[in-house]
C-alpha cells in the first residue's frame, strides 16, 4: 500500500510550473560538477551544444555584430565560458552571468590563463541586476535557456536583458518551437544506479516521467531520485514557442524581433524545425 502510494506520487501530473527546481542542477556540489563535465564534453548537446556548433555560433555572432574593441556583450547562462572566451578574444568588453559556482570558477580560471579580462557574475539571472544598466551592445541567452522558465520568470529575464542593453542594442536567443512538442511522447523510464551517477554519488533509483501539456504547448521531464535516506524531485519544464508568441513576449518588455533564424549559427529560418533563434532590438 505504501509502495503503491509512492508510485502514484512518482507519476503524478503537476499543474504547469507549480515547482521550480533548476537551482538543484547548479547549486548541488555533486550535480554541478557533472554539469560542468557535460559542458566541457566536446561532442554532446546537453549542458552546452557540441563545441563545433559553439565555435560556429560564436563566429557568426562575432561577425554579424562586429564584436571588437569598443563593443560590449553580456552572456546570460554563460556556463564555463565557451562563448565569452571567444567573444573576449575580439577585444570586446565581455560579461558572463551563471548560477553555477563550478562553471564560474572554471570560466574565471580559463580567462586568467588566457589573459582575457572577462567579468563573471555568479548569480541567478532571474535576480541579477546589471551593475551598469544600458551599457551593452549585445546580449545572448543561448541553448534554449528561456524554455524552462514560467511566464513570470520569462518576463523577468527579458526585462533584465532589456535593462542591460543600450538603446538600439541587440539580444540573440533561441527556443524550442511548437514542432518539437508535436513529436513528443509521454513515457516513464526507470533506471538503477548502484554505484552512483549523475544525480548522486550514492546508490539511487531514478524515475523519469515525460509529460506533455498540448494546450499550453509545454513539455515536462519530471525526475524522482530515490536514495536510501532521501527522495528528491527535479522538474525540467520546456515551453515551446510559436514565432508569434515569442515576438509578443519580447515586445512586452520593449524588445522588437527583427530577424528569425534556424539557429544561432545564422542558418535560414525553417518553420518545420524543432528550434529557432531570433535577433531582437531594444526600442
Neighbours of 18 (CB within 10 A): 9
Residue 46: pLDDT above 80? Answer: no
Q: Check if the beta carbon of residue 237 is closer than 8 Å to that of residue 16.
A: yes
Q: Tell me whether residue 206 is in a domain.
A: no
Q: Tell me whether residue 259 is in a domain.
A: yes
Q: Tell me whether residue 7 is in a domain.
A: no
Q: Tell me whether residue 125 is in a domain.
A: yes
Instruction: Give strand pairing partners of 211.
Output: 220
Provide the pLDDT for residue 47: 67
Q: Tell me whether residue 95 is in a domain.
A: yes
Where does the pLDDT of residue 115 fall: very low under 50, low under 70, confident under 90, or very high at 90 and above? Answer: very high
Give pTM, 2 decimals: 0.94
Q: Check if the beta carbon of residue 276 is closer than 8 Å to that of residue 243.
A: yes
The long-range contacts involving 254-262, CB below 8 angstroms and separated by at least 24 positions, are 254/162, 254/282, 254/283, 255/158, 255/161, 255/162, 255/171, 255/280, 255/281, 255/282, 255/283, 256/280, 256/281, 256/282, 256/283
Domain count for the chain: 1
Domain extent, residue 143, equals 29-177+241-282
Nearest to 282 by CA among 164, 149, 145, 175: 164
Residue 25: pLDDT above 80? Answer: yes
Q: Tell me whether residue 75 is in a domain.
A: yes
Q: Tell me whether residue 19 is in a domain.
A: no
Q: Check if the beta carbon of residue 105 is closer than 8 Å to that of residue 79.
A: no
**CATH (domain of 133):** 3.40.50.150
Q: Tell me whether residue 164 is in a domain.
A: yes
Q: Report the pLDDT averaged over residues 138-155.
A: 97
Q: Check if the beta carbon of residue 142 is closer than 8 Å to that of residue 77.
A: yes
Amino acid at each position: 500500500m505504501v509502495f503503491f502510494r509512492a508510485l502514484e506520487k512518482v507519476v503524478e501530473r503537476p499543474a504547469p510550473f507549480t515547482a521550480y527546481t533548476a537551482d538543484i542542477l547548479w547549486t548541488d556540489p555533486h550535480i554541478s560538477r557533472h554539469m560542468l563535465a557535460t559542458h566541457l564534453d566536446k561532442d554532446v548537446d546537453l549542458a552546452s551544444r557540441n563545441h563545433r556548433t559553439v565555435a560556429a555560433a560564436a563566429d557568426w555572432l562575432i561577425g554579424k555584430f562586429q564584436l571588437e574593441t569598443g563593443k560590449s556583450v553580456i552572456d546570460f547562462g554563460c556556463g564555463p565560458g565557451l562563448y565569452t572566451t571567444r567573444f573576449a578574444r575580439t577585444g570586446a568588453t565581455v560579461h558572463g552571468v551563471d548560477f553555477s559556482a563550478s562553471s564560474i570558477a572554471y570560466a574565471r580560471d580559463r580567462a586568467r590563463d588566457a589573459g582575457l579580462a572577462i567579468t563573471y557574475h555568479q548569480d541567478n539571472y532571474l535576480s541579477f541586476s546589471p551593475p551598469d544598466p544600458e551599457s551593452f551592445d549585445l546580449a545572448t541567452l543561448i541553448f534554449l535557456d528561456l524554455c524552462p522558465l514560467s511566464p513570470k520568470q520569462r518576463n523577468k529575464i527579458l526585462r533584465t536583458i532589456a535593462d542591460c542593453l543600450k538603446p538600439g542594442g541587440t539580444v540573440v536567443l533561441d527556443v524550442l518551437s511548437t514542432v518539437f512538442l508535436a513529436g513528443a511522447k509521454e513515457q516513464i523510464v526507470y533506471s538503477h544506479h548502484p554505484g552512483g551517477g549523475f544525480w548522486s554519488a550514492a546508490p539511487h533509483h531514478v524515475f523519469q516521467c515525460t509529460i506533455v501539456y498540448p494546450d499550453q504547448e509545454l513539455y515536462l521531464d519530471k525526475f524522482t531520485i530515490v536514495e536510501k535516506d532521501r527522495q528528491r524531485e527535479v522538474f525540467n519544464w520546456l515551453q515551446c514557442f510559436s514565432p508569434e508568441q515569442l515576438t509578443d513576449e519580447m515586445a512586452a518588455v520593449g524588445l522588437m524581433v527583427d530577424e528569425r533564424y534556424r539557429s544561432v549559427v545564422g542558418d535560414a529560418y525553417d518553420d518545420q524545425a524543432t528550434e529557432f533563434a531570433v535577433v531582437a532590438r531594444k526600442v
